[in-house]
Amino acid sequence: MTVQPVQQEAGAGGEALEVWIDQDLCTGDGICAQYAPEVFELDIDGLAYVKGPDDELLQAPGATTPVPLTLLRDVADSAKECPGDCIHVRRVSDSVEVYGPDAE
């Protein structure tokens, strides 16, 4: 029997979360990269992007990356403090936004 490793991405309820950035709204302030440089990075175009688990910049529109449990607070703070309101954190299971401009 093969045992699958437990993922380290989870929200407050233990649910997996993912984050994405709407570059059309990004102001390039870089607050997200200051809060969570493991997840966000500014590119040469001056806009912020999420990074994949392999640290690769994900530049496709709407690209998402898992939110590691250890970085949940930093990613949530990034979404709350973003002047462009362009960071979206949602549950993987139902795509409901839990942090960001469309959060309930």
**pLDDT tens digits, residue range 86-97?**
999 999 999 999
Low-confidence winner among 6-15, 31-40, 83-92, 94-103 (lowest mean pLDDT): 6-15
pLDDT at 12 over 90: no
Report the candidate in 5, 22, 4 with the shortest Cα–Cα distance to residue 90.
22
Range of the domain at 46: 17-99
Residue 40 resides in a domain: yes
In a domain, 28, yes or no: yes
Closest CA to 25 of 83, 86, 89: 86
In a domain? residue 5: no
CA distances from 39 to 29, 100, 104 (A): 15, 15, 23
- 62: DSSP letter: T
Q: What is the pLDDT of residue 1?
A: 41
Domain count of the fold of the chain = 1
Rounded Cα distance, 72 and 36, in Å: 9
**CATH number assigned to the domain comprising residue 59:** 3.30.70.20
